[in-house]
Structure formats: C-alpha cells, structure tokens
C-alpha cells in the first residue's frame, strides 16, 4: 500500500482540545505525507449491552461527564486552536470530520473513507489506545503510532472548566479554546 494514496485519520474526542492534542497533531503532520483527517468521534446513545471489551471501554470514554461538548463546538475549538498554534501550511493540511465510533459502525467508516486507511493512534501505554490500534489492524488497516504526551489530563481540563478556573486552565489549553468555551457557557446561562 502506497503511503501517499492512503487516507490518514486521527480519531479522538477532543473534549475539549488541549495542548497534548496539539502536540500529537503537530507530530502526526511530520509523518503524514498528505492531508490529515481529525475524526471527532460522535457517539450514539448506548443500546443494550456492549458486544466487545473495546465497546465497553469506549462507552466509559463517552459518558456525558467525559464528553460534554457537541461536535460543532469541538470543531470550532479545534479550528481556533489551529489558528492560534499552527502555521498556515500545517492548517491547510488538516480536515475536521465527524466520525462515528468505529467499533459500532465500521461499515459507515469504510463508506466515509474508502480505500487504504492509516489510523494515527498515540503511543502512551494506555490500554484503550492499544485496543483501538488492535481493532484497526484486525480490519486490515494500517496503524501509525505517534509518541504522545500525557502532560495534560482531559479530566483536569474539564474540572477547571466546570470550576470556571480560567487562569489555571491556560497552562492546559490554548487561550482561544478557553475564550470560546467561556462564550459558550455565558450564552447557555442566558438561555
């Protein structure tokens, strides 16, 4: 499989985007010869019992407390973070797309991305990432592991947002992301 004819996809929740996400995306761009699709995972409500260990784990990652932001807000947050932290050449290679949870509807994923796919999965030593990498490889797709950073915890970021601790949050997330979240929260409080 030729690397340049493949579609490169980095799936993730980005709830919300933070500095570790930006470091991973920047590192991925160094290894990807074409555009990079940022697949923002969208998750349907659970139905019945999970069929696999991966699905059970994915459900834990997509509870409302761990995935509070809509696709549209996450897209806008990522675009703002890219504008703040990436140069024009890097930004021009990024494509943001809503991506269904692959373990629930891989046929739909194949319809969205026909042909050879390369999944970018961070190398953090986390069991969930290992399950995702194995899942994609078992379906015949290539998996590219990129060294990631775990300096920022999404849980910490969400807790700081909930507490409206905006100044400490600046060490974890771009200012543009924080500003959009603040505006979104203010708008929701008014309605």
- The pLDDT value recorded for residue 3 is 46
Using the predicted structure, report yes or no on whether residue 52 has a pLDDT greater than 90: no
Instruction: Please give the share of the chain, as a percent, with pLDDT higher than 70.
Output: 90
- The pLDDT value recorded for residue 15 is 92
- The pLDDT value recorded for residue 163 is 95
CA 38 to the chain's CA centroid? 7
- The pLDDT value recorded for residue 5 is 87
Domains assigned to the chain: 3-151 (3.40.50.620)
Q: How far is CA 110 from CA 32, 55, 100, 156, 183, in A?
A: 20, 18, 11, 34, 36
Please compute the mean of the pLDDT values over residues 63-69 and round it to a whole number: 66
Q: What is the pLDDT of residues 121-155, one digit of tens each?
A: 999 888 989 999 999 999 999 999 999 878 888 89
Stretch among 8-17, 43-52, 99-108 having the lowest mean pLDDT: 43-52
Dihedral (Cα; 124, 23, 166, 37), 10-degree rounding: -100
Please compute the mean of the pLDDT values over residues 156-160 and round it to a whole number: 94
Q: What is the pLDDT of residues 177-188, one digit of tens each?
A: 999 999 999 998
Q: What is the pLDDT of residues 15-49, one digit of tens each?
A: 999 999 999 999 999 999 999 999 999 976 667 77
């Amino acid at each position: 499989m030729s690397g340049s004819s493949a579609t490169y996809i980095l799936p993730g929740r980005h709830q919300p985007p933070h500095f570790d996400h930006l470091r991973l995306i920047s590192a991925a761009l160094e290894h990807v010869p074409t555009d990079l699709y940022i697949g923002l995972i969208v998750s349907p409500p659970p139905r019945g019992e999970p069929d696999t260990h991966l699905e059970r784990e994915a459900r834990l990652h997509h509870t409302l407390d761990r995935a509070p932001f809509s696709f549209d807000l996450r897209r806008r947050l990522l675009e703002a973070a890219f504008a703040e932290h990436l140069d024009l050449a890097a930004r021009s290679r990024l494509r943001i797309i809503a991506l269904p949870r692959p373990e629930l509807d891989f046929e739909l994923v194949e319809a969205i991305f026909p042909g050879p796919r390369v999944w970018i999965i961070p190398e953090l030593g986390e069991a969930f990432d290992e399950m995702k990498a194995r899942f994609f490889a078992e379906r015949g797709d290539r998996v590219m592991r990129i060294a990631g950073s775990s300096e920022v915890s999404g849980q910490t970021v969400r807790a700081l947002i909930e507490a409206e601790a905006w100044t400490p949050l600046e060490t974890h997330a771009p200012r543009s992301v924080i500003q959009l979240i603040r505006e979104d929260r203010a708008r929701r409080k008014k309605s």
